[in-house]
Amino acid sequence: MLTAGYRSAPQRATPREDPIAQRAAEITRDLGSADIRTVAWAAYDAGRYHLTDAAPSLVRLLATAPAPLDRERWALVDVVLDALIQLDARVPAAEIVKFAEPRPVQTLVLLTAATGREGVLVDQLAMTKGYRWYAAANILLRDKSPGLARHLFGTVRLDLTIVVSEREPGAGALGDSSSVGVGDGIGVNPKDFPPHAQYRFEGAAWSGFVVLAAGPHPIYYSRTVSTTLQYPTSFPEIGGPTDDDRLDYLRALGSDTMMGVPLRAESRAWARWTTAEAFLRRVEELRRDLERRYRYLQTIVMRATGVPLDAAAPPRIDIRVEDQRTDRSVPLPEINR
């Protein structure tokens, strides 16, 4: 019997099951658990392992969240919103807009890619300000939204100050009414829940910040994960939008070339005093010039966004008169303000 050089065939090792694949199967099961902590950890791992197939189950958790929410239910909502963001999920806007007030950052991050978002975002413009307004406007601007154009044309106001004097006065300056505020507090994560992700609006580009939505007023956000029971919270806020901001968004809706259109929300002009009739002609001349520039911007924007031209509304122009005459023996005539 020849045995020299003979080797038996090696035994094939039993393949180990992929731990991520095993956890994926467990997540699918655990998302339907009756235990809230089990569901929370399943949602957390779905985001951590980027299990995109879990997105529909996560959306259903938001849709079925009872109201009002207690602390544990809010903690679960936070985990689910964070997981959907990590998955870059496209969710129905109607399912997440109910969290816009208590969780504005997460909601707006998800709205950047949500389905059916235009109407929801336009509604946000009408009821918000500051970071939330700018973020919603930036998303709509990217979409070239007709709803954004209609909202801006319906809310922008132009203020014209006419200085009346015998000789031309020096240039006046207009102030800036923007403001910034920050609210701080302490959050508490329920016992045995997964780590908490804290989201915050940020107003400037910085290392680690993420662009939420770009535009004339870009908005960023930060995400900080805490593994402790308690975690610090802060909610910065800014003022706005101003009417000049609205004009900037209208220019951006039209085209990049529109950014040079000479139109400001607040303007000053001079009317030389001679007679009442000449003064009224000057007022009408200034009003028509302001309206002409506004109409030009309006026409370009409406064509770019598909808003019918016959839907154009006249500009709202508020006129204020500063009487700087040295001789005021003749009163200024009344004007249509």
Q: 193-245: per-residue pLDDT in tens?
A: 999 999 999 988 888 899 999 999 999 999 999 887 776 676 778 899 999 99
The structural domain count of the chain equals: 2
Residue 173 in this model has a pLDDT that exceeds 80:
no
CA distance 243 to 249: 10
Predicted TM-score (pTM) of this structure: 0.84
Cα distances from 241 to residues 72, 117, 126, 249, 265, in angstroms, run: 36, 21, 11, 10, 12
Burial class (CB in 10 A: 0-12, 13-18, 19+), 321: middle
Same domain for 80 and 164, yes or no, is no
Question: 269 and 164 in one domain?
Answer: yes
Calpha distance 98→117 (Å, rounded): 13
Phi, psi of 282 (to 5 degrees): -65, -40
Assigned domain for 71 exists: yes
pLDDT band at 257 (very low <50, low <70, confident <90, very high): low
Residue of 321 and 69 predicted with greater confidence: 321
Same domain, 165 and 283: yes
In a domain, 330, yes or no: no
Least confident of 11-15, 290-294, 303-307: 11-15
Do 123 and 163 sit in the same domain of this protein? no
For the chain, count helices (H), then strands (E). 11, 8
Alpha carbon of residue 138 to chain centroid: 6
Tell me, yes or no, whether 165 and 261 share the same domain: yes
Mean pLDDT of the chain: 86
pLDDT tens across 51-79, in order? 999 999 999 999 887 767 888 999 999 99
* pLDDT digit string, tens, across residues 110-166: 999 999 999 999 999 999 999 999 999 999 999 999 999 999 999 999 999 999 999
* 163 and 106 in a common domain: no
Contacts of 90 (CB under 8 A, 6+ apart): 113, 114, 115
pLDDT for position 18: 67
Q: Which residue has the higher pLDDT, 25 or 120?
A: 120
Q: Residue 172 — pLDDT band, cuts 50, 70, 90?
A: very low
Q: What torsion, rounded to 10 degrees, do the Cα atoms 77, 83, 87, 90 define?
A: 0
**Residue 309 counted as domain residue:** yes
pLDDT attached to residue 228: 77
Residue 34 lies in a domain: yes
Pair 76, 163 in one domain: no
pLDDT at 170 over 80: no
Tell me: do 92 and 165 sit in the same domain: no
Give the up-direction half-sphere exposure of residue 36: CA atoms within 13 A in the CB hemisphere. 17
pLDDT of 96 reads 94
Which among 57, 102, 97, 98 is positioned nearest to 80, based on CA atoms?
57
Range of the domain at 79: 20-128
Q: Report yes or no on 185 lying in a domain.
A: no
164 and 91 in a single domain? The answer is no
